[in-house]
Amino acid sequence: MSRLGVLAVATAGLGRAFGLHDARFLASEVALLVSMFVISRYVLPLVERRDRGATGEEHVGGLLESSRRAAGASSTTQRWGGETSITS
């Protein structure tokens, strides 16, 4: 996202340096708008999908951990020839 910010600042700088009706300023404005469109249309959905996947992994990990803890809590202690062993 920092590149988009740099492009926005550069666009403002071009507008100030060359005037708001200069072709270079207008081209930089179009480039900024296209960049914003591409980011909002293509990049953000990929990031959101990856974030949902990471959240899902955390959720499943939590379920597995609680399942493992529940299995550990229900383990029984057995005596085998003088040795104590814990089975789950």
In tens, the pLDDT along 30-76 reads 888 888 888 888 888 888 888 888 888 888 888 888 888 888 766 55
> What residues have CB less than 8 Å from 36, skipping those under 6 apart?
4
Show the tokens assigned to 85.
């062993």
Predicted pLDDT at 1: 55
pTM: 0.47
Predicted pLDDT at 81: 55
3-class SS of residue 78: strand
CA-based torsion, 79, 80, 82, 83: positive or negative? negative
Please tell me the chain's helix, strand, coil percentages from 3-state DSSP, rounded to the nearest 5.
Answer: 75, 10, 10
Decide if pLDDT at 86 tops 60: no
